[in-house]
Structure 1
Amino acid sequence: MHGISLTDGLRRASILRASCKALGDPVASTVDGAKIAAVRARWMANGVTGKTANNRLGYLKAVYNELHKLDVIDYPCPFFPYQARPASGTPLGLPDQTANNRTARCT
């Protein structure tokens, strides 16, 4: 099982479950940028810091990356072309043109 050797693996698993619940427990292939941006905005409206919101989204992105790397999924990661913004609290948005030139795969 991936992630089992993480020192805070149980905490991360709990965070991942809560994040999935916040997204409405969707089928992974149906998650899109609008859902990601909406849940991040909702977290921040409820007092979650930008850094914490970015960390939560980073954990979800890591799951997509690992599943894609293992050929468990063959659809693009919904976190591209969206990227976390600085923890100052600015919302998710499109990255600069250089980042847009990357492939649709999460990297």
Structure 2
Amino acid sequence: MEMVRELASKKAAVIFTKSSCCMCHSIKALFYELGASPTVHELDQDANGREIEWALRSLGCNPAVPAVFIGGQFVGSAKDVISLHLDGSLKQMLINAKAIWF
């Protein structure tokens, strides 16, 4: 769990994904469209991927990926991020965390 907290707090926007996950790809594309350059951790290509995945599940991520952190805070999975985007608050969260500037 400490590893997840440390990785999530290093950058304004952090996404834990798997390279074969279509929802992970969609969330990354959404962030790029909004002008953010999130740090992406591909768990299936990380030596500690399985350990990180279990830590994400203990945070309530089910499925474990994509798991999004903004400003070091856990935002949620794809469903949560899409909901925030649709109500307009995702962009403001990214601005507040200095992941994008306007």
What TM-score comes out, normalization by structure 1 length?
Answer: 0.29
> Relative contact order, CA 8 A, sep 6+: which one is greater?
2
* Largest Rg, 1 or 2: 1
